[in-house]
Amino acid sequence: MALGVLNQPMDSCLDFALWRTCRLLEPYWLPAFQRGDLKPGDNAEHLGYALKAIEKPEALAPLMEMIVSGKADETIIRLVGKIGSSAELNTVLHLANRGNHSLTKAATLALAEAAEDRGISPADQSLLSPVCQRLLKENDVEIVAVACRLAAAWNLKSLRQAIRTKLLAAPPLLAPHAANALAKLSDVEALLPIASQGTSRHIRIAATAAIVIIDPAVASPHIAKLLQASLSQAEVETLMAGILRRPGGSRHLANALSRKEIDQENAIHATRLLEVSDREHPELADKLAQAGRLAPMLPALSSSDRDTLLSMIADGKVVRGRAIYERAALACNVCHRVNGEGGLVGPDLSSIGASAPADYLLDSLLNPSAKIKEGYRMSIVSLKNQNVISGAITRETRNALVIRSAFGKETRIPKMEIASRRISPVSMMPGGLVAGLREDELVDLLAYLSSLGRVVNK
């Protein structure tokens, strides 16, 4: 029951209280676990916390016996990755090395999480390179992707050529992992030709985003070139994320955009990412506006204009408003859900019309940061390398947290890399989203939002 607190946001006081509780109650729950009455599948995350709290290596013995005897499932393998020692990870390493095994993927993930989140690798260092090399040859692209992560986490520079070969023809799922591995293994020379001449756009984007990890100044001209073509929102975010996280990164991209023209939609998406980041980027904002030929934002509504607009909502067209809401340029459904469809970053809007008056909806569209619903505030995570990542924290364990950006991209952050975290006063919904709408379009959008949760025939 006490471990149920892990389902809620944790702080240092709660963490200490729960740690102390696990140790005090050890005589009751540990024997039950060792007898098999308390099974890992009941809640592996909770059990892992309790086992780590008591700091007794022998407590993992039942799990290791299950792995050796072939009775372990994926949950047990992953749990050993979260809390096991180097010696215990050796057993997982041997399991990962068994080709075509049903638990190869789980074992590979367990090794990656141990290396990335806790800085722990198997005791037998001589096996790391050959095992990782074999995993890179797997037919399962997900296993190959994790193998790339392992090569980077274990600093296996001898595998850079093998990873480069994988990147040259990588499918979309694999490309970012292969490119990031090369960056973390300091192989910018391999990435540069792929960033400019890669056979597929997703490969060029992955290579360019990876170069940002090494040197934003070198990556910025490649980003500026890629932004000239029509890209998806996800592709723009991939290119911009690293630049906005790195100190001084936006200055390098601003310089690269001088006297350039880029796709207007790309400029809009990139500008929105600037607006929800924790740092000010005035120079880059100006260059994006110039390169993308963006019109200046409309001034704030006067009181009389606001009243006039609100009075028009009753005659707005709900069907047209829904079409505006679903426009890719506005990206409303990337963050919000309506009747079970859409994103999870922002509040569910399925019944917003029944619970919020029209003036509240208008104010929320024009100035999202003025009224942020509780539970949907943006977190700012500062890393020890001075990078900054912002978004909503969606999952958190003792060793890592997952943060989802304003446009739905998730990033996993090992806690040992975090310097600080705080809540931002800025909304994850960018300001100016509706600045490009005509008056009648804004009225129709408000009519649609006001209809949600109510019966309206328009």
According to the 3-state scheme, what is the secondary structure of the chain?
CHHHHHHCCCCHHHHHHHHHHHHHCHHHHHHHHHHCCCCHHHCHHHHHHHHHHHCCHHHHHHHHHHHHCCCCCHHHHHHHHHHCCHHHHHHHHHHHCCCCCCCHHHHHHHHHHHHHHHCCCCCCHHHHHHHHHHHCCCCCHHHHHHHHHHHHHCCCHHHHHHHHHHHHCCCCCCHHHHHHHHHHCCCHHHHHHHHHHCCCHHHHHHHHHHHHHHCHHHHHHHHHHHCCCCCCHHHHHHHHHHHHHCCCHHHHHHHHHCCCCCCHHHHHHHHHHHHCCCCCCHHHHHHHHHHCCCCCCCCCCCHHHHHHHHHHHHHCCHHHHHHHHCCCCCCHHHHCEECCEECCCCCCCCCHHHHCCHHHHHHHHHCHHHCCCCCCCCEEEEECCCCEEEEEEEEECCCEEEEECCCCCEEEEEHHHEEEEEECCCCCCCCCCCCCCCHHHHHHHHHHHHHCCCCCCC
Last residue of a domain, one of 118, 133, 153: 118
Same domain, 16 and 110: yes
Residue 27 is predicted with a pLDDT of 84
Residue 23 is predicted with a pLDDT of 83
Range of the domain at 390: 379-423
Contacts 24+ apart (CB under 8 A), 350-358: 350/452, 350/453, 351/452, 351/453, 352/449, 352/452, 352/453, 353/449, 353/450, 353/451, 353/452, 353/453, 353/454, 353/456, 354/452, 354/453, 354/454, 355/453, 358/310, 358/313, 358/446, 358/450
Residues (pLDDT < 70) of the chain are 1, 9-12, 38-45, 55-57, 100, 295-300, 455-458
Last residue of a domain, one of 118, 143, 175: 118
Q: Does residue 392 lie within any of the structural domains?
A: yes
Residue 163 is predicted with a pLDDT of 97
CA pair distance 356, 363, nearest whole angstrom = 11
Same domain, 338 and 403: no
CATH code (residue 397)? 2.30.30.100
Note the pTM of the prediction, 2 decimals.
Answer: 0.76
Domain tally, the chain: 3
Same domain, 385 and 368: no
The count of other CB atoms within 10 Å of the CB of residue 228 is: 13
Q: Does residue 307 lie within any of the structural domains?
A: yes
Same domain, 355 and 390: no
Model confidence pLDDT, tens digit, residues 185-201: 998 999 999 999 988 99
Residue 98 is predicted with a pLDDT of 85
Q: Does residue 203 lie within any of the structural domains?
A: no
CATH code (residue 345)? 1.10.760.10
Same domain, 411 and 333: no
- Furthest CA-CA distance within the chain: 76
Last residue of a domain, one of 102, 118, 134: 118
Q: Does residue 403 lie within any of the structural domains?
A: yes
Same domain, 2 and 72: yes
CA pair distance 89, 115, nearest whole angstrom = 10
Q: Does residue 262 lie within any of the structural domains?
A: no
Same domain, 22 and 111: yes
Same domain, 8 and 82: yes
Q: Does residue 238 lie within any of the structural domains?
A: no
Residue 319 is predicted with a pLDDT of 92
Spatial contact of 180 and 152, defined as CB atoms under 8 Å apart: yes
Same domain, 439 and 414: no
Same domain, 3 and 102: yes
CA pair distance 54, 316, nearest whole angstrom = 63
User: Could you give the C-alpha distances from 178 to 134, 184, 206, 400, 405, in angstroms and in order?
Assistant: 15, 10, 8, 22, 22
Same domain, 347 and 391: no
Same domain, 19 and 75: yes
Residue 210 is predicted with a pLDDT of 97
Q: Does residue 172 lie within any of the structural domains?
A: no
Q: Does residue 143 lie within any of the structural domains?
A: no
